[in-house]
Structure 1
């Protein structure tokens, strides 16, 4: 798995001639927008999880790690790739910097794959074994998993590239006949097989199997939820519904990752095993992979209401910390509030039974007063809201006591 600039997969020569001025301007504008969206979007994800108490969960630790990876890609790799693209695949900097640039590209792509792999395992235990989830997925294990992600990413990027384990006995980067330098990643068959199969295709197969089982069980649970009646049973399944929504969001993120990166790795494997590949195709699949880093924050906002609310508060420069009164209640506090409301409504319903015909006289009196010129619409709304509350209380009371 080598997410490097398009030229990293070039043949032996760079592009045929320099780009015109309007082509450079157009490419530069598009790539600048992509960089800004990538950086700003992933910064928003990190800030949203940091300042929103509802988003502070173990699952979102991996999401922050993924966003941090995409942020580094947008800051340390994509700008150099854009410059390299505009300059017709001529590397203007030193050879050492080129090797660091390629190593960073490989490392960040590997980290993205492993983060998504850990997310899929987290969702698997949250849906398959919700009662065992707190004992299986602990803060310590999450921290160890995140450390392993970055250690493995470093070992498959900087180590083989700087030791020239990925080449066919040639120099990693060389000078062209005109004295200008190109920056590309040399690959041999062993490196392609080990890197592509173990760090992309194998995790991809595991993630697909995991999400298939998750959706199969989620569908069965959804059927049970739809067949559930009564106030309290529905309230008890609200955490399960929340887990399903989180799973759908993360599955969409993984789906976008597959769409963006699978073409690249297919071309990468073909190039390492068979040789020459069309340069235009290489450019397209490479930048399609970079688009994925800008896509994840948009998917969070589109599919997850908590992220969408956090984004809105951040854009309005409103505090989202634990001291704000508008912070959403926890499940226990929400259930306590619901119980209190139910008790109040039951008291109202009991009063309603003792009132006999007084309720009708109240409505009649309110209607008569509404017909007089001195009566205003707000008073009528108040009376009607009160009567509706009494009616709702009576219905709820009948449902609870079977009367």
Structure 2
């Protein structure tokens, strides 16, 4: 994701390289380990194979690929004092993969938020409308969109302009200093999705609050899985907060760099890139925090526990007369 060339030819001292390497390795390890655990839990536990969890697993797959591809190669680039040893052509491939994965993670969060809103709106009809086939179509389309936004520009920008802005031994996008293109893609990639996710989650919160007040006023017996509805709403809010905190600094500095390269310290910018990728390490913790079933599967795999019977934890409960139908998270 680097958009910035180095102004210094000196290598980092060991006092910088070693602590940085430890932090980077920790981020990579948790991104890989946590998301492998998430995918494995989905595969081994049939109770987790809901449409909603298909979207979570797609996010886990995206984060896993970030941990396997984006982060390790950029770790080498970072720890070698911003020196890219893998060549020009692989740099292009790497950037295409990285930008596609990052955009796919954003699109998946939008899909996840929209799915929870549809569950509240459709009620008992949700599972008739939102099937596994529908989920596969949505996921497939999201990957197509994610791969379409940046790929042509990454591959062909220097061919279209006739200029190669990347120096030998470096790896960054050719359009890094084009203000119009960078600002436009930043709006498409961050501003619009962030606004859309905020609106969707606000609608979810309003709906859940409305249902809670109604059930409380009617002395309904299902006021407790309503509490679980609120917990699920808070989980979505946490996803939004993590997205905003990890992506915001990178997006803002990317726009600044496009018209004023010297205005941003290159080391600070690198920190923001790693902050962006840290989301891949944090998301599995959110799954375990919010879903008892995911947590139990993680514990079984970590401690080799014998599989025991578990009740699914609900996300949004849908009442039908005196029965409350739970939806597995």
TM superposition score category, shorter chain reference: 0.7 to 0.9
Residue 140 (structure 2) pairs with residue 125 (structure 1):
no
Matches within 5 A, 1:15-30: 15=8, 17-30=10-23
> 2:311 matched to which residue of 1?
328
CA deviations on 1:158-181 (whole Å, 9 max, x unpaired) are 322111279864215322xxxxx1
How far apart are the structure 1 equivalents of 2:54 and 2:226? 20
Contact 1:173/1:182, CA 8 A, preserved across alignment: yes
Contact 2:201/2:236, CA 8 A, preserved across alignment: no
Q: Which piece of structure 1 moves more, 60-69 or 283-292?
A: 283-292
- CA shift, 1:296, in A, is 0.5
How far apart are the structure 2 equivalents of 1:169 and 1:102? 19
How far apart are the structure 2 equivalents of 1:215 and 1:165? 46
- CA shift, 1:142, in A, is 1.1
Distance change (3 Å), C-alpha of 1:34 and 1:148: same
Distance change (3 Å), C-alpha of 1:205 and 1:165: farther
Q: TM-score, normalised by structure 1?
A: 0.71
Residue 242 (structure 2) pairs with residue 256 (structure 1):
yes
> 1:217 matched to which residue of 2?
207
Give 2:293's match in structure 1, choosing from 306, 309, 322: 306
Give 2:187's match in structure 1, choosing from 186, 190, 197: 197
CA deviations on 1:244-269 (whole Å, 9 max, x unpaired) are 43332233122211111111111112
> 1:162 matched to which residue of 2?
155
- CA shift, 1:307, in A, is 1.7
Distance change (3 Å), C-alpha of 1:242 and 1:72: same
Larger radius of gyration: 1
> 1:115 matched to which residue of 2?
108
Contact 1:14/1:182, CA 8 A, preserved across alignment: no
> 2:252 matched to which residue of 1?
266
Contact 2:158/2:165, CA 8 A, preserved across alignment: no
How far apart are the structure 1 equivalents of 2:251 and 2:313? 43
- CA shift, 1:328, in A, is 2.7
- CA shift, 1:14, in A, is 3.9
> 2:88 matched to which residue of 1?
95
How far apart are the structure 1 equivalents of 2:54 and 2:246? 23
How far apart are the structure 2 equivalents of 1:149 and 1:80? 25
- CA shift, 1:15, in A, is 3.4
Residue 7 (structure 2) pairs with residue 31 (structure 1):
no
Contact 1:245/1:304, CA 8 A, preserved across alignment: no
> 1:356 matched to which residue of 2?
none
CA deviations on 1:326-357 (whole Å, 9 max, x unpaired) are 143799xxxxxxx9xxxxxxxxxxxxxxxxxx
CA deviations on 1:274-325 (whole Å, 9 max, x unpaired) are 44422132122111111111001111222322221221122132465xxx6x
**SS of the residue aligned with 1:10?**
coil
CA deviations on 1:4-51 (whole Å, 9 max, x unpaired) are 1xxx2224x443511112322222122111111110001111111222
- CA shift, 1:243, in A, is 4.2
- CA shift, 1:273, in A, is 4.2
Residue 75 (structure 2) pairs with residue 82 (structure 1):
yes
Distance change (3 Å), C-alpha of 1:182 and 1:14: farther
- Say what the alpha-carbon RMSD is for the aligned residues: 2.5
CA deviations on 1:45-64 (whole Å, 9 max, x unpaired) are 11112222332211111110
Contact 1:167/1:186, CA 8 A, preserved across alignment: no
The alignment covers a number of residue pairs equal to: 312
How far apart are the structure 1 equivalents of 2:115 and 2:85? 43
Give 1:54's match in structure 2, choosing from 47, 58, 64: 47
Structure 1 gaps, min length 5: 176-180, 332-338, 340-403
Contact 2:158/2:164, CA 8 A, preserved across alignment: no
Distance change (3 Å), C-alpha of 1:42 and 1:257: same
Distance change (3 Å), C-alpha of 1:301 and 1:329: closer
